[in-house]
Amino acid sequence: MISAVACQAASPASEGSARGGRAVLGAFATLTPSERRILRRWAVAARASGIDTVEDLAARGWPAAFGAAVIGIFRHGRPCADALAVGQDGAWVVACCATGRVSSPTASLADALALVFPSDGLPGCAGELPG
């Protein structure tokens, strides 16, 4: 379960983040090579709309252990993640940190990233996640 507390705990760090679409070695280990490429391309395109960093948060100290990919999505100048993309067992959801809403599962990371920050403008996620 993703909560607003989890979003507040997600703050950028130097290791495991991609700035300007450049992945850090060893980061995003829970993603497939294809998913890493999708994330890198999306991060580059999203920079023009205010996305500053995507960070691998899977290794952070979460309240319960789980084997999932957790990607924090940060806008420029913000201390906490705006959204979390969480993938496990082939399904992805997005949690909007402003509202605490969690999307219905999608079949791919690309689909999950498009839920909150579509390529046509990256609007804020408040009230935008389909339930």
Give tens-digit pLDDT for 38-93: 999 988 888 877 888 899 998 787 788 778 899 999 988 888 898 999 999 999 99
Q: How many CB atoms lie within 10 A of CB 81?
A: 27
Whether 25 is in a domain gets the answer yes
Using CA atoms, how far apart are residues 39 and 37, in angstroms rounded to an integer? 5
Q: Say whether 66 sits in a helix, a strand or coil.
A: coil
Q: How far is CA 122 from CA 21, 31, 83, 117, in A?
A: 16, 23, 12, 4
**pTM for this one?**
0.75
Whether 125 is in a domain gets the answer no
Q: How many structural domains is the chain composed of? A: 1
Whether 92 is in a domain gets the answer yes
Q: Cβ contacts of residue 8 below 8 Å, gap of 6+?
A: 80, 97
Give the domain range for residue 20.
4-116
Whether 123 is in a domain gets the answer no
Whether 130 is in a domain gets the answer no
Whether 131 is in a domain gets the answer no
Q: Does the pLDDT value for residue 120 go beyond 60?
A: no
